[in-house]
Chains A and B, each alone.
Chain A
Amino acid sequence: PPQVVWSMLGNRQFCSYKMTTKTQNFCRNEYNLTGLCNRSSCPLANSQYATIREEKGRCYLYMKTIERAAFPRRLWERVLLNKNYEKALEQIDENLIYWPRFIRHKCKQRFTKITQYLIRIRKLTLKRQRKLVPLRRKIERRERRREEKALIAAQLDNAIEKELLERLKQDTYGDIYNFPIHAFDKALQQQGAESESESDAEREEEEDEDVDTREFVEAEDSELSDFEDMDKLETSSEEEQEEEEEVEKKASHPKSKGKTPLKGPARRKRPYIEIEYEEETEPTTKTKAA
């Protein structure tokens, strides 16, 4: 008898499906209609009960009557509901025709909720789905350590400075920077002994430039300091330049493998600067050569 069941189980704490929180009691029974633990919504304490449950996207109406209370296997009767919302509601109505109002109402409410969340699932699966990829701690640590080591090995500032100086030497900046090319020229002569004839031609041009500018440079320097000092300066800078040149040559050859492919077949013709150089400095070099 349901009264006894309720007074024993539901009312007190003996029901295993009952979960209490500070404000409410919940019922974990899968056949429960509302999810709360009440006298009217406990499937154990009511001999006539009905629920809506869905499996794999289809909704079923489950009913329990007093006649089958002795046969637990056949206790719950299952009716497949129509996919159409209104037709399903009519089905519920005709199945629960003389049942108490509370159960009918709650069934329809539950059915509405279920159909709505099924619609939502279907909509969401069409949108982009975010896949969460777990990070592996060991791998993360390893990668971070390798990155640090690579950063140290890269010596970025030095590499960038070298590259910029290289570009300056190869005249990609054209005439923007006027530096005393005297020592510069010495270094170029050394390089010219080993490189192709193109560079020879260029070197000659630069020598001409140098002839023009050398006087200019010396005059400037003589204003600032004595002749002795200037000689010392020049010789020291020459030596430095020579040493640096050798080092740079050695360093640039293994590096050239990495850099030159991106700059096209010949070292001086870089795809993204070549034409600029020709446009800007060609007229000036012509005049100087002449």
Chain B
Amino acid sequence: AMAGDGGGNAEHGGSPAPQRVLFPPTFSVSEIKNKQRRHFMFLRWKQQQRKEKLAAKKKRRKEREALGDRAPPKAIPKTIENQRVYDETTVDPNDEEVAFDEATDEFAPYFNRQTVPKILITTSDRPRGRTVRFCEQLATVIPNSHVYYRRGLALKRIIPQCIARDFTDLIVINEDRKIPNGLVLSHLPDGPTAHFRMSSVRLRKEIKRKGKEPTEHVPEVILNNFTTRLGHSVGRMFASLFPHDPQFIGRQVATFHNQRDYIFFRFHRYIFRSEKRVGIQELGPRFTLKLRSLQKGTFDSKFGEYEWIHKRREMDTSRRKFHL
């Protein structure tokens, strides 16, 4: 180690990495006590690594070109989506059990077109300006929705009133420190209740290059990447917010895109420039949701039957494991 150290010290004049540098086998950069010298040696080591890597790459590319057509296919880079831990509740497209379940669950009347969605949007107590504006914009995005402000009313008491007035869904936006940060979505006639954490809320005026206001046409719905059973039920919940027959004249589309357990909501207006190109323009608010819990019945925090709760200790153990 001393010899190597002496050698390193001698080169300390800042000269570029000499070719004949040979570190003794037991030498490691971290053993040098002097910070400056250690840093210098580390940089030199890094440079060497980079050179080696570049040389290896070049070699590989040459080999590939030399082989020409017989070259082995390119290796697919690993992404988190590729490496995702296989979830056993992933839905198979041809699964009959799932199809049967879906035909008989709470959303069946919606998908059979027996009910028209009617949505009540409300907030927690005393909403501040941002939340109020967000509620209004959300009401323009979701057709057939009404905003009512809650002045200290208990949720458990307004639910029967809503059912009596034929509402199909209830959205409660929870607010903290003047920004909305939670969303409770509950399907009313005894349907599941989902509690989300909402983040990155952008109102319409904060979105760049936005268009005019969303019109009254019924938008289309895109639901991406909801693969597991849980994801399925959540996706169906979202789908049931919008009326079943979109009006294509409106050319509006609401997207719920699930990526690594985060659900991104966007609202766009699209236009087909040719049969292969489409232009989209973002209007309407945008936000991201993360599912915290899913309850069987309507909103009931104490006695409800939870179908799924996010338990941090158990569920966040692996970076490649997702639940939606």
Q: How far is the CB of A193 from chain B (nearest CB, A)?
A: 20
Contact A156 B275 (CB under 8 A): no
Which residues of B from 167 to 225 have beta carbons under 8 Å from A? 197, 199-200, 220-225
Stretch at the interface among A81-89, A114-122, A172-180: A172-180
CA distance A275 to B197 in the complex (A): 35
**Residues in B neighbouring A169, C-beta threshold 8 A:** 275
CA distance A265 to B103 in the complex (A): 12
Contact A257 B224 (CB under 8 A): no
Query: What DSSP secondary structure best describes chain B's contact surface?
Result: mixed
Stretch at the interface among A27-35, A61-69, A91-99, A141-149: A141-149
Contact B245 A257 (CB under 8 A): no
CA distance A179 to B95 in the complex (A): 37
A-B contact count (CB 8 A): 127
**Residues in B neighbouring A147, C-beta threshold 8 A:** 199-200, 262, 288, 290
Range of interface residues on B (Cβ < 8 Å): 35 or more
Contact B225 A146 (CB under 8 A): no
- The listed residue (A151, A163, A262) touching B259 by CB distance below 8 A is A151
Q: How far is the CB of B322 from chain A (nearest CB, A)?
A: 10
Q: How far is the CB of B124 from chain A (nearest CB, A)?
A: 9
CA distance A179 to B276 in the complex (A): 10
Given contacts A150-B260, A174-B248, 13 further A-B contacts (CB under 8 A): A128-B154, A146-B260, A150-B262, A151-B288, A160-B280, A164-B278, A179-B275, A181-B275, A256-B93, A261-B98, A261-B227, A262-B223, A272-B245
Q: List 30 A-B contacts (CB under 8 A).
A: A127-B152, A128-B155, A147-B262, A149-B260, A150-B264, A153-B80, A154-B257, A154-B264, A157-B280, A160-B222, A160-B255, A160-B257, A160-B280, A161-B278, A163-B255, A165-B278, A167-B220, A179-B272, A181-B275, A237-B276, A241-B276, A257-B91, A260-B93, A261-B226, A261-B232, A262-B223, A271-B111, A272-B111, A272-B244, A273-B246
Q: Which residues of A contact B (CB under 8 A)?
A: 127-128, 139, 143-144, 146-147, 149-151, 153-154, 156-157, 159-161, 163-165, 167-169, 173-174, 176-177, 179-181, 183-184, 237, 240-241, 244, 256-262, 264-265, 271-273, 275-276
